[in-house]
Every structure is written in structure tokens, then in C-alpha cells.
Chains A and B, each alone.
Chain A
Amino acid sequence: DVKVTQSSRYLVKRTGEKVFLECVQDMDHENMFWYRQDPGLGLRLIYFSYDVKMKEKGDIPEGYSVSREKKERFSLILESASTNQTSMYLCASSNGGSPLHFGNGTRLTVT
């Protein structure tokens, strides 16, 4: 089975801190994604990557950046955390149009 591992289940950070969310997948998937999920809204795509060192902005990239130096790892970076970035963050991977495989999520609270 594909395993997508997110480094932290819960994180509490202060406003202005730089935050790193790490995601690793073990099935050699080409595509990796970062979403955030907020109550009452569908998953919103922050960034995705279809290859090493490649990245594309999703629907809500402002305030975020990403890094994909190795195929299996996709990192989401909050350069200067703000309270409106308090959310559940989900990482996912896939090949082509196959279903997404998700990590367990990181619930980030920015105070």
C-alpha cells in the first residue's frame, strides 16, 4: 500500500515564525500536492509538483512556498506564519490521473 507520511500531527506556532511541514511518500509517485482544509469548505490546493524541482501554484499559494528536492519528499513552508493560516494541512501523492493517496494531516495552530 502507498504510504504518505506527514511529519507532524499537531503543531502550534507563533505569528511570524517560519514553519516547515514535511511530507514523504514511498511509492515513487510523480505528483505531490499540498491542500488545506477549513470547516465548510472543500479542500483547497496550495501547491503541487509533478516532478523533482518542479512546482506549480494552486488556488491559494499566497504566504506559502514549497520545495521538492527529492521525488519522495514535498515540503510546505510558511515563511512567516499568520493566524489565518491556522488550518488542517493535507499532503497527497498520485501518478497521472489515479486517485490521490493522502497523509494523515497536520493540524496547525498559529497563535
Chain B
Amino acid sequence: ILNVEQSPQSLHVQEGDSTNFTCSFPSSNFYALHWYRWETAKSPEALFVMTLNGDEKKKGRISATLNTKEGYSYLYIKGSQPEDSATYLCAGRPSWDSNYQLIWGAGTKLIIKP
């Protein structure tokens, strides 16, 4: 069974500052890691799906890295803007044929202070 932990639980960041937070998971029995952004009153939106050790993906000011050997992924936001305020969720997919079972972290709530 894959347990996914996210830290910190919440984060206040000044507008314009960069920030990062962590998703950790057991390094064994891992296949893929998903990152989602969930803004208030909207639906969660997929950011990245990562599978390979050393993967780095980027979408605008947001990027993510993956270390499958040590069991963590970092999400980075460069130059935070108010629209970045959201809860960021990560989810682990535990095996290559488990198309259905994502194990979710509890999320990191990011609040950008103007």
C-alpha cells in the first residue's frame, strides 16, 4: 500500500516570492505521481503526471521534480501570484497495471498575500 504525505499542510507566501512544497511516498511499489491544483469553487485540475526518476516538468511558472529512489516530489512556484492561491494535491499510482487506484495526499493549501 502506498502512503502519500504532503508538507506543509498550509503555506502563506508573499506575492512575488517563490515557494516549494513536498510530496513524499514509499519508493517501492511506485509507478507514477500526479500533481493537481484545486482552486476554491472550481474542480481540481491536473498539472503534471511524472513517472521517471529525475523527471522535471514545467507549466508556466510552476515546475515539479521527481525522485523515485528517495520517494519524493517537489512542486515549485516561481514569483507567486494571487491566482496561485489554491490547494495543491499529489497522488501516487502504486503499480503499472493499477489504472484506477490513485492514493492521495491531504494537500498543501497555498495562500498568496498581496
Contacts and interface: CB of A to CB of B under 8 A. Distances in A.
Interface string B75-92: 000000000000001010
A110 interface: no
B4 interface: yes
- Chain B at the A interface: mostly helix, strand, loop or mixed? loop
Contacts of B91: 42-43
A99 B43 contact: no
Contact of A42 (B4, B42, B93, B101): B4
B43 A4 contact: yes
Interface of A: 4, 31, 33, 40-45, 48, 50, 56, 58, 90, 94, 96-105
Interface of B: 4, 9, 32, 34, 36, 41-46, 49, 89, 91, 93, 99-107
